[in-house]
A and B are shown apart, each in its own frame.
Chain A
Amino acid sequence: MSMMRALGLAAVGALVLGGPVAAQPRRAEQPKPSVRYASTWEDALAEAKLLNVPIVVHSHGFY
Chain B
Amino acid sequence: MKSLLFLFLTNLVATADPLPAFSRQPYVQLSTHDSIRVLWRARKEMAPRLVFGETLAELSLSPQSILTRTHPSLTEENAIYKDAPVDTRQFEATLTGLKPATKYYYAIYDGQTRLTPADPSYRFKTNPVPDSEVPVYFWVVGDSGTGGKAQAQVHQAMVDHTAAINRELDLYIHVGDMAYGSGTNTEFSDRFFDMYEPTLRNVVCWPSMGNHEGKTSKGATGTGPYYDAYITPTQAEAGGLPSGKEAYYSFDFGKVHFICLDSHDLDRRPTGEMAQWLKADLEKTKADFLVAFFHHPPYTKGSHDSDTEGQLIEMREHIMPILESGGVDLVFTGHSHIYERSMLIDGAYHTPSIPDGVILDDGDGDPNGDGSYKKSAGLTPNNGTVSITTGHGGTTNRRKGTHPLMRSIILDNGSCLITIEGETITGQMLNLNGKIVDTFAIHKSGVVTHTPIADPWQPASYKVAKKVPRQAPPRNATKLIAKSANWSYLAGSHPSGSGIDWASPSYDITQWKIGKAGFGYSDNDDTTELDMQGKFTTLYIRREFDLPKNANLNKLGLSISYDDAFILYLNGHEVLRQGIDKGQGATANGFTLHEADGKFDYFPLKGIAKYLKPGQKNILAIEGHNANLKSSDFTLHPQLLLRK
Are A and B subunits of one complex?
no
Q: Tell me the A residues contacting B by CB distance below 8 Å.
A: none
Interface positions of B (Cβ within 8 A of A)? none
